[in-house]
Structure 1
Amino acid sequence: MTQVDVVLIGRNEGARLVAALASVTGQARQVVYVDSGSTDDSVAQAEAAGALVVNLDMTRPFTAARARNAGFDALSDPQFVLFIDGDCALVPGFIDAARAHLQAHPDLALVTGWRAEIHRDASIYNALCDWEWHRPAGTIDACGGDMMVRGAVWAALGGMNPNVIAAEDDEFCTRARKAGWRLERLPIGMTRHDAAMLRFGQWWARAVRTGHGFAQVGHLHPEYFVTQRRRVLVYGLAMPALAVLGLVTFWPLSVLALASYPLNHMRTLRGLVRDGVRPAEARRFAALLTLSKLPNMIGMARFHLRRLRRADMRIIEYK
């Protein structure tokens, strides 16, 4: 039977890391925990759970991609590697199902499953995350950082791009597809996640980070995130610019530009309800999704400014 190893990454996750470690104990040949400068007892907890601890070099800008690469490099003869974040708990049964599926389908580079929020109803932001995680099963273009990957594929592709600070998983998946591999999401639970996103400011920062990912991955792979970047440019840049221009030239232009937002909200709302989201919740989701184009635009602009200045790509934290 092909061996499965686990790589956990985290920083100051506290009880979340304890739960993550407990959820994988006894299910893998090797468990590696990569710590990114924690000031709590994360390292001690990981060692107590029997994990091999790798302390990431924090003299260089941190990225989750760097942490996952370091975890993989610490494994001995990795065959199938399960990557999960330190704020996630593994769902029982996933390792066996994922391993069997990879063994049965040699054209697959990786498999993933469904992530769900532990405290979904703690805030509208957590609920929105939970909705975002639940994507259709089957062949996919990309997935989040929770995935089981063939060690040979990871090594051949050189792992994740350490300079990508957001959507690094999308970027890795894109390279895997370009190399001829297939990716698949199984219709089963994989991890239980704790976003702990309770304030508007956290949601805004996460949306800025998302925009940075759209721009950076789109810069590396121009065919990817095309629709997302176009929407951000329209509602995060063009419409606000027209609204301001209309104030000093022709005021109806401002009215038309601002009217695009309730229209976008209505269109998004209809799509959410059609997908089964409860109307009351769908209205709030639609409002956040409509508003998100503004912080997304900030994130896209931040990436390009950093790129032109040749500045370090530093992470944008929301927790």
Structure 2
Amino acid sequence: MTQSIISAVVIGRNEGQRLVNCLASMQGEASRLVYVDSGSTDGSVDAAREAGAQVVLLDTSEPFSAARARNAGFAALTTDLPPPDYVQFVDGDCTLEPGWLTHAARALDATPDIGIITGWRAEIDPHASIYNEMCDYEWHRPVGDIDACGGDMMVRRDLFARLGGFNPKVIASEDEEFCVRVRDAGFRVNRLPLPMTHHDAAMHSFAQWWQRAVRSGHGFAQVGDLHPGHFIKERRRVWLFGAVLPFLGIVGAVLSWPLFLAVLAIYALSYGRTVKGLHDVGLPLATAMRHSVLLFLSKFPNLIGAMRYHKRKRRGWDMEIIEYK
């Protein structure tokens, strides 16, 4: 049996040593490495070339986005003869687990109706901050067939080309939007019970976390607008806990104390259920309580992100990226 050809597309901006580590982690398993740079000023471009990667520089006249960068990397692979069977997409702040590319390719070889294979991502330093800790927990998701996954994924090259790749106008959750189209095309998205990437969130401040939550809210709104059946629960929670209940609380504080107390009770009940849910799946109680505070607060930056999307759409503005680091 002919061995499948695997290529990889790495995207990044000012990743420094993390990019060097990322490219090194795929040596020997990927037949070709393409690095797409979004305006780095730290020497990342030279480092990528020294590591043997082909470098693609994104045109600065258009807004940067992860979707646009990944598409540019994929386009650079179309000149390969023979072309790759599978393409691994990975962010430049991640390193791949040794052997991951081989395991993922074998799974795609054995299961023709799987369009995307992913695995588990873990934080390199989850205890550096509560925000890193939350990311580490966020990455651990069920295995088997799933609705969607993050941008670290291996995709069938012919399927990616047929679907037109990532939507370049989606500036957050572009990976989820692509997964929706893959499933609509009749293919499965599957997570293997294997470590895949090690990520460095490098998130050490509340401001970084807030911006990341704003970006998530933008993604919920934009992808939900494109695919109304996706992110339904997330969008409902954002508008309920970020807008409706605060409005009722203000009205209650002015006109009706029972209404105000009812709003507080709903928030308290929601917080308690979140703590219990996190504790039931294995988080220590104190950790679950800390995470739940930020999950409660996240609805407000989520709402800002959603409103920013709708304002941009209404005014015909470009969907520019929202960076948190």
TM bin (shorter chain): over 0.9
Q: Which runs of 5 or more structure 2 residues have no equivalent in the other structure? A: none
Distance 1:292 1:159 in 2: 30
Q: Which residue of 1 aligns with 2:55?
A: 53
Q: 1:190-201 maps to which residues of 2 (within 5 A)?
A: 190-201=196-207
Distance 2:34 2:108 in 1: 21
| Residue 277 in structure 1 maps to residue 279 in structure 2 | no
Deviates more, 1:214-223 or 1:261-270: 261-270
Q: Which residue of 1 aligns with 2:26?
A: 24
Distance 1:158 1:8 in 2: 18
Q: Which residue of 1 aligns with 2:229?
A: 223
Match of 2:305 among 292, 299, 314: 299
Secondary structure in 2 matching 1:277: coil
Shift of 1:245: 1.3
Shift of 1:82: 0.4
Identity of aligned residues (%): 58
Distance 1:57 1:134 in 2: 35
Shift of 1:33: 0.2
Deviates more, 1:187-196 or 1:253-262: 253-262
Shift of 1:251: 2.7
Amino acid at match of 2:259: L
Amino acid at match of 2:286: A
| Residue 186 in structure 1 maps to residue 192 in structure 2 | yes
Deviates more, 1:244-253 or 1:269-278: 244-253
| Contact 1:25–1:49 (CA under 8 A) maintained in structure 2 | no
Q: Which residue of 1 aligns with 2:16?
A: 14
Q: 1:252-291 maps to which residues of 2 (within 5 A)?
A: 252-291=258-297
Distance 1:306 1:81 in 2: 32
Shift of 1:69: 0.1
Q: Which residue of 2 aligns with 1:44?
A: 46
Distance 1:293 1:264 in 2: 12
Q: Show structure 1 runs of 4+ deviating over 4 A.
A: none
Shift of 1:26: 2.0
Secondary structure in 2 matching 1:160: coil
Match of 1:234 among 217, 240, 250: 240
Match of 2:109 among 97, 103, 107: 103
| Contact 2:4–2:84 (CA under 8 A) maintained in structure 1 | no
Match of 1:312 among 300, 315, 318: 318
Distance 2:84 2:169 in 1: 24
Amino acid at match of 1:127: E
Distance 2:183 2:307 in 1: 28
Distance 1:178 1:212 in 2: 23
RMSD, aligned CA: 0.8
Distance 1:214 1:168 in 2: 10
Shift of 1:247: 2.6
Q: 1:42-191 maps to which residues of 2 (within 5 A)?
A: 42-75=44-77, 76=80, 77-191=83-197
Secondary structure in 2 matching 1:252: helix
Shift of 1:257: 1.4
Shift of 1:10: 0.1
Distance 2:108 2:167 in 1: 24
Q: Which residue of 2 aligns with 1:5?
A: 7
Q: Which runs of 5 or more structure 1 residues have no equivalent in the other structure? A: none
Distance 1:159 1:258 in 2: 45
| Contact 1:63–1:162 (CA under 8 A) maintained in structure 2 | yes
Q: Given the two structures, how large is their TM-score scaled by the length of structure 2?
A: 0.97
Distance 1:44 1:53 in 2: 9
| Contact 2:216–2:302 (CA under 8 A) maintained in structure 1 | yes
Shift of 1:243: 1.1
Distance 1:148 1:101 in 2: 10
Deviates more, 1:55-64 or 1:254-263: 254-263
Q: Given the two structures, how large is their TM-score scaled by the length of structure 1?
A: 0.99
Secondary structure in 2 matching 1:24: coil
Shift of 1:252: 2.5
Secondary structure in 2 matching 1:2: coil
Deviates more, 1:23-32 or 1:128-137: 23-32
| Residue 244 in structure 1 maps to residue 250 in structure 2 | yes
Amino acid at match of 2:179: C
Shift of 1:250: 1.6
